[in-house]
């Protein structure tokens, strides 16, 4: 059985098989959690590894080593930018979680920690994003129980609360 849990932490400190980065389609690093991950993993190595993909579409995901991080892998997924909700944002966000979980399972990960994809500068409403994330994770782990634990790594109490609430519903 796979468990889902919420932790409040800096994702770059987590010793898990994979962490999931809220990336951009250029995979060139940026601000927010993406910037923190690139700095902690080692800019030069991670940028070189990311460059090999020539970008990544919204809702898709790619995997690189974790380099200097305690995590073995980094899964990079560009979530959707919120444009009001009528631009396929919900499906694209679900795709980000789905494809990241698929990559984690394909790489024999036992545990994977997600950042709160799209809910920072991309502006996706937090409660709505949390519901989509938890539903997608639950649907996935029902069919594939190779992961032992899926962690949502929140950086602030409001984010942690939203995902805890989505789990409780």
Candidates 41, 61, 75, 117: give the one binding ligand AR6 (CB under 6 A): 117
**Which of 50, 74, 159, 162 touches ligand AR6 by CB under 6 A?**
159
In the complex with ligand AR6, the residue whose CB is nearer, 91 or 108, is 91
Q: Has 111 been annotated as catalytic?
A: no
Residues 53 and 27: beta-carbon distance below 8 Å? yes
68-72's contacts with Cβ under 8 Å and 24+ in sequence apart are 68/40, 68/41, 68/42, 69/12, 69/19, 69/37, 69/40, 69/41, 70/13, 70/14, 70/15, 70/16, 71/14, 71/15, 71/16, 71/17, 71/18, 71/19, 71/113, 72/17, 72/18, 72/109
Out of 2, 4, 16, 32, which residue is the one contacting ligand AR6 (CB under 6 A)? Answer: 32
Decide: is 8 part of the binding site for ligand AR6 (CB under 6 A).
Answer: no
Instruction: Single out the residue of 11, 132, 152, 166 in contact with ligand AR6 (rule: CB under 6 A).
Output: 11
127-156 positions binding ligand AR6, by CB under 6 A: 153, 155-156
Using CB under 6 A as the binding rule, whether residue 41 contacts ligand AR6 is answered as: no
Question: Toward ligand AR6, which CB reaches closer, 132 or 146?
Answer: 132
d(CA 165, CA 169): 6
Residues annotated catalytic, as ranges: 34
Question: Where on the chain is the footprint of ligand AR6 (CB under 6 A)?
Answer: 10-12, 22-24, 30-34, 36, 79, 115-122, 153, 155-156, 159
């Amino acid at each position: 059985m796979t468990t889902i849990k919420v932790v409040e932490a800096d994702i770059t400190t987590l010793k898990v098989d994979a962490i999931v980065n809220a990336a951009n389609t250029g995979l060139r690093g940026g601000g927010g959690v993406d910037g923190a991950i690139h700095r902690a993993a080692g800019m030069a190595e991670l940028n070189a590894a990311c460059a090999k993909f020539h970008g990544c579409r919204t809702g898709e995901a790619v995997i690189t080593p974790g380099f200097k991080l305690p995590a073995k892998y980094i899964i990079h997924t560009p979530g959707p930018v919120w444009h009001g909700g009528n631009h396929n944002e919900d499906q694209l966000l679900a795709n980000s979680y789905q494809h990241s979980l698929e990559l984690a399972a394909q790489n024999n990960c036992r545990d994977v920690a997600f950042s709160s994809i799209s809910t920072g500068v991309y502006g996706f409403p937090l409660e709505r994003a949390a519901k989509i994330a938890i539903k997608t994770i639950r649907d996935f782990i029902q069919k594939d129980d190779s992961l032992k634990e899926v962690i949502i790594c929140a950086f602030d109490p409001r984010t942690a609360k939203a995902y805890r609430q989505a789990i409780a519903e």
